[in-house]
Amino acid sequence: MIFDGNYTMTIAGRPVVSDKTLPVVNPATEQVIAHVPDASRAQLDAAVEAARAAFPAWSARPMAERQALVAAIGDCLLASKDAFSALLTAEQGRPRAGCDWEVATCADWCHAVSTFTLPVEVREEAGRRVEIRHTPLGVVGAITPWNAPILMAIWKMAPALLAGNTLVLKPSPYTPLTTLRLGELLRDVLPPGVVNIVTGGNDLGQWITDHPGIAKVSFTGSTATGKRVMESAARTLKRVTLEMGGNDAGIVLPDVDPKAVAPALFWGAFFNSAQVCVAIKRLYIHADIYDDVARELVDYARTIRIGDGSMQGSDLGPVQNRMQFDKVSSLIEQTKAEGHRFLIGGEVPEGPGYFIPVTIVDNPPEDARVVTEEAFGPILPLLKYDDIEDVIRRANDSESGLGGSVWSNDIDQARRIGERLQTGTVWINEMFAFSPHAPFGGHKQSGVGVEHGMAGLLEFTNIQTITSRPLAAAAG
């Protein structure tokens, strides 16, 4: 299927346009490739109303039917996978192979989540039956970022629906197209109102977090915005799950083969032009092999072609938007002004396109901005260490606690180090090993709650305890 150029919101199963629109820019060309509706507050109210109206029937549906419909969302993505992938490249910038991966992962996720069910725990105590069950919350407001828009949408949609909730979903204004398309296709799959897709700017996000008809906000984005979401959700005591930024450390032990490990380290840091919440953002390398790993990384980086993601042969695309381009460019300029040495990169070309070259910084001080801040763009500091205790302390010296990785031939030692990292996820000798069965979330200021696995599913529910005993016992 090839998608046409019109984009409509989905409210109550119907296409909805808006008086105002927002332009969507292809980050590789800086051309406006579409205009999407900029929802009014009344349109958000209509979406919430539709989701509330759909909730009683949807939540009462047998679990097997909800499971089948969540699987059908996956089928729907697979049926149009090439069109989704091409559209994702156009709006997000990432080369096609990475977009194919994102769309395929979305489908896999729906199929995996469709096998989950809500547990019921029964305890018998002194003639009393105690049943602990999980009930859906109502309407979930989902707010997603621009780095992996369709995956972030599915990570919320699949478990929220399976648990019996209905949804109002707002993608980032920078990357709304794939999510709008998904909404259009789901009009033929789901009952009206079960999934509503609205587009607009940051105000629309704020209205969702304020809205009294929404029971929970599931948010993925920056830590600064996440704090605003929590503050605003507090006014109506909405449940929140917040997946936010990280400043993840990778720790390379001295026993690795520098040449063999360099490609995995490179992609762990630079996949999606480093716009991944759990990318390696500080790479600690043991002093014994620092020079060798640095050289191998630079040699590997020289083989990488940066270009328009729709062109064959591009390994990395542009960063996704002007704001992020300016932010990363200014970080590069500051790093330069502070006198730190670049092993590669550091010169941002003139446009068109938000292209930033792979930039690697040679052992800057621990308090340099390029080390302390999440860049969310292709600039990586390499940092030297020679003592394990010291590197663990430095890795943990952050307000973030999203992920981390350890690289070694000695998996037991790597595990012992991993257990001491103050992060929600630790990967050993691999990166981005997400699983629908493994909870994912941030420690410290990287998150509240988790997504995925049973723990993630249960965040879309309330716990309900029902106790019972024979009436005769009460009378006695």
Query: Which residues in this chain contact ligand NAD in the complex, by CB under 6 A?
Result: 143-147, 170, 172-173, 202, 205-206, 209, 220-222, 225, 228-229, 243-246, 277, 374, 376, 402, 442, 447
Nearest-approach distance from CB 61 to ligand NAD, in angstroms: 29
Contact 276, 250 (CB under 8 A): no
In terms of CB distance, is 272 or 408 closer to ligand NAD?
272
Q: How far is CA 356 from the centre of its chain?
A: 22
In terms of CB distance, is 134 or 239 closer to ligand NAD?
239
CA–CA dist 110, 159 (Å, integer): 8
In terms of CB distance, is 170 or 286 closer to ligand NAD?
170
What is the residue-wise DSSP string for 16-79?
A: E--SSEEEEE-TTT--EEEEEE---HHHHHHHHHHHHHHHHHHHHS-HHHHHHHHHHHHHHHHH
In terms of CB distance, is 37 or 173 closer to ligand NAD?
173
H-run or E-run covering 116: none
In terms of CB distance, is 168 or 402 closer to ligand NAD?
402
H-run or E-run covering 134: strand 128-136
H-run or E-run covering 109: helix 96-113
Nearest-approach distance from CB 374 to ligand NAD, in angstroms: 6
* Helix extents (H) in 115-189: 149-162, 177-186
Annotated catalytic, 243? yes
* Structure tokens, 7: 């984009």
Q: Which is catalytic among the residues 243, 296, 374, 459?
A: 243
Nearest-approach distance from CB 306 to ligand NAD, in angstroms: 20
In terms of CB distance, is 146 or 270 closer to ligand NAD?
146
Helix, strand or coil, per DSSP, at residue 215: coil
Nearest-approach distance from CB 313 to ligand NAD, in angstroms: 27
Q: List Cα–Cα distances, 129 to 124, 357, 438, 473, in angstroms.
A: 5, 64, 31, 12
Nearest-approach distance from CB 447 to ligand NAD, in angstroms: 6
Q: Which is catalytic among the residues 277, 296, 451, 459?
A: 277
Annotated catalytic, 296? no
- Say if residue 159 is preceded by a cis peptide, omega within 30 of 0: no
* Structure tokens, 396: 């943990």
Contact 91, 149 (CB under 8 A): yes
Nearest-approach distance from CB 174 to ligand NAD, in angstroms: 7
| CA quadruple 190, 192, 193, 199: dihedral sign | positive
Nearest-approach distance from CB 232 to ligand NAD, in angstroms: 6
Q: List Cα–Cα distances, 361 to 294, 299, 358, 453, in angstroms.
A: 10, 14, 10, 37
In terms of CB distance, is 35 or 336 closer to ligand NAD?
35
Catalytic residue positions, numbered: 243, 277
